[in-house]
Chains A and B, each alone.
Chain A
């Protein structure tokens, strides 16, 4: 008896969790194909036809394509720069012992303990002083910095698993330090870079609070801001609002489904630091 009711509770809980996770997403997806009248009269039902007019209209009302391009640029360069810089630093920290290393590692892990919100005004000031306000490059540098602790940790743990003999034989063959890093170490560390890269890309793609304070014009705003700034424009046309929401959500979901294993191991690796 006890066993049976426990089983019912268990499935009830699983179904509830799945509904809570998938429900809002599916409901907005369905609604994004409806007309305004349908949304108001038939909120829970199936759309009468799968028309894409809401999507084309969303792109007309707000400069979503501009925001999209900005997000892609920030995502790609924010990830590449982060992987390059942190890859180099993580390699040296994982492989060599030198004076000041402990201090450096301590300082870097300190960055995990600072809530981003505390740095809102100081970073706004710094970015302004560097002349990077309202420029994509400003966002790229800030996001590269935000990914510092997680990427450093994931990459240096990966480098530690590579046997030292790999480099020693490269040196014997006359390869330089730089050649060894770029030709030998980078290619065999692809899985580590993959994990760190996915985490960093999602950070750049989803970040909101610094995007909002470090940009002011449409030419440098990223996709999450589209929803914030055009909420009022969309408000009269619900279907368009739903379509715009889907446009922001779908890339994250696609990246996640394709690279799920990297995300899962990235989360696990990142958390050990906590």
Chain B
């Protein structure tokens, strides 16, 4: 079949290969090669060796803060966020009356545009009329006007709260995996007198190692992309309190027009992601058989 259809096979693959080259391959070549250059808008790139990287690691407080924040968010998302989603999935898997409703509603913040999520929280946490401050005022403190997103003490926490609890994707993935566990396992456990709590702890959770590993990778790497919510709410501020690597790349590339430098941050971001993925794959032994 292959010989006769070789022409068609090429024809069917060609557009996707072209797409891949335009969007990914060319980008990677530009990214790596210009990360070793001094290059701003309207000029041609000049080779400067490792100077961009040396500056990044020795003399750039904004970069350090961005990398640190990104790291903290990756860790929080791959632990706390995954734990919340897993716990919720285990509860929903008992299929009590509310489970479908809860699953649907939990997905709302994940399905709407990040820009809109940012806007929702900007309104909720508004110092004057936001729901959160209004609730605090209800309990007596009539002049309470915490500016959540602009106060140094609360900005980082407020931004974190816009994504940390919303683990519906984790919940959906784990629910699907629980549904695939053979019923006979539960039955024999029940016959042996195990309680629901024990079944969850000793049977379900260990069976989920692979999928939890996948969720850790997905949730962690999603933090390497977060830009929309931050840009909508704090813009990286106050100061550089809530800056992360994507915001930093956006600022250096498109506001300062410092292309070569921003691309060295891009290379760092890719390397950061690769190391994280490799670490998780080893930690959870993804791909190897269960137990």
Contact partners of B204 in chain A: CB under 8 A: none
A146 to B107, CA, bound (A): 22
- B13 at interface, CB cutoff 8 A: yes
Quick check: B262 and A121 within 8 Å, CB to CB? yes
Distance between Cα atoms of A86 and B214 in the complex (Å): 24
Contacting residues, chain A, for B266 (C-beta < 8 A)? 117-122
A268 contacts across to B, CB distance below 8 A? 172-173, 176
Main secondary structure of the interface of B (DSSP, over half): helix
**A114-B227 contact, Cβ under 8 Å, with A21-B109, A271-B214:** no
Tell me whether A58 is interfacial, beta carbon within 8 Å.
no
Number of interface residues of A (CB under 8 A): 93
| B243: interface (CB < 8 Å) | no
Tell which of B6, B26, B91, B273 touches A10, judged by Cβ atoms closer than 8 Å.
B91
Considering the chains assembled together, what is the distance between the CA atoms of A116 and B27 in angstroms?
Answer: 10
Which residues of chain A in 223-274 are interfacial with respect to chain B, using CB atoms and an 8 Å cutoff?
Answer: 223-225, 227-228, 231, 238, 241-242, 245, 248-249, 252-253, 255-257, 260, 263-264, 267-268, 271-272, 274
Measured CA separation A144–B262 after assembly (Å): 25
Interchain CA distance A44-B126 in the complex, whole Å: 13
Q: Which of A40, A96, A252, A264 contacts B112 (CB 8 A)?
A: A252
B224 A115 Cβ-Cβ under 8 A: yes
Chain B contact-residue range equals 35 or more
Inter-chain contact B19/A88, CB cutoff 8 Å? no
B9 touches A146 (CB 8 A): no
How many Å from the CB of B154 to the closest CB on chain A?
A: 17
**Nearest CB in chain B: distance from A117 CB, A:** 3
**Residues in B neighbouring A124, C-beta threshold 8 A:** 253-254
Stretch of B56-64, B131-139, B142-150, B186-194 that contacts chain A: B131-139
- Chain A residues with CB below 8 A from B107, complex form: 21, 256, 260, 263
Q: Which of A85, A122, A238, A272 sits near B27, CB closer than 8 Å?
A: A122
**B283 close to chain A: CB less than 8 A:** no
Within 8 A of A (CB), among B110-136: 111-116, 118-124, 128-131, 134-135
> Residue A213 contacts which of B28, B108, B250, B259 (CB distance < 8 angstroms)?
B250
Cα distance A107–B121 in the bound complex, in angstroms: 39
B146 → chain A closest CB, angstroms:
14
Most buried by B among A21, A108, A142, A146: A21
CA distance A31 to B221 in the complex (A): 35
Q: Is B17 an interface residue (CB 8 A)?
A: yes
User: In the complex the two chains form, is B115's CB within 8 Å of A224's CB?
Assistant: yes
Q: Cβ of B88 < 8 Å from any Cβ of A?
A: yes
Binary flags per residue of B39-51, CB closer than 8 Å to A gives 1, else 0: 0000000000000
Would you call A126 and B22 a contact (CB within 8 A)? yes
Q: Closest A-chain residue to B259, C-beta based?
A: A121
Q: For A21, give its contact among B91, B166, B195 (CB under 8 Å).
A: B166
Whether B114 contacts A257 by the Cβ 8 Å rule is no
Q: Is B20 a contact of A108 with CB atoms below 8 Å?
A: yes
Interface flags, B5-19, vs A, CB<8A=1, else 0: 110110011011101
A122-B31, A213-B250 given; A227·B221 CB < 8 A: no
Q: Are B16 and A43 in contact (CB under 8 A)?
A: no
- Contact between chains at A248 and B116 (CB < 8 Å): yes
Report whether B169 and A267 are in contact in the complex, using a CB–CB cutoff of 8 Å: yes
Interface flag for A22 (CB, 8 Å): yes
Among residues of A, the one whose C-beta sits closest to the C-beta of B3 is A98
Does A50 reach chain B (CB closer than 8 Å)? no
Residues of the B chain whose Cβ atoms lie less than 8 Å from the Cβ of A13: 87-88, 91
B9: chain A residues at CB < 8 Å are 92, 96, 98
- Would B270 and A113 count as touching, CB distance under 8 A? yes
State whether A145 touches B114 (Cβ < 8 A).
Answer: no
CB distance from A154 to the nearest CB of B (A): 14
A-B contact pairs, 12 of them (CB 8 A): A40-B129, A85-B15, A92-B9, A104-B17, A113-B270, A115-B269, A121-B249, A121-B253, A256-B107, A256-B108, A260-B107, A263-B111
Interface residues of B (CB under 8 A from A): 1-2, 5-6, 8-9, 12-13, 15-17, 19-20, 22-28, 30-31, 84, 87-88, 91, 98, 102, 104-109, 111-116, 118-124, 128-131, 134-135, 138, 165-166, 168-169, 172-173, 176, 195, 197, 211, 214-215, 217-218, 221, 224-225, 227-228, 231-232, 245-246, 249-250, 253-254, 259, 262-263, 266-267, 269-270, 273-274, 277
Return the 8 tightest CB-CB contacts between A and B, nearest first.
A145-B23, A117-B246, A118-B266, A122-B27, A208-B228, A89-B16, A224-B115, A206-B113
Binding site for B on A (CB under 8 A): 3, 6, 10, 13-14, 17-18, 20-25, 27-28, 31, 39-40, 43-44, 85-86, 88-89, 91-93, 96-98, 104, 107-108, 110-111, 113-126, 130, 141-142, 144-146, 148, 152, 177-178, 181, 202, 205-209, 212-213, 223-225, 227-228, 231, 238, 241-242, 245, 248-249, 252-253, 255-257, 260, 263-264, 267-268, 271-272, 274
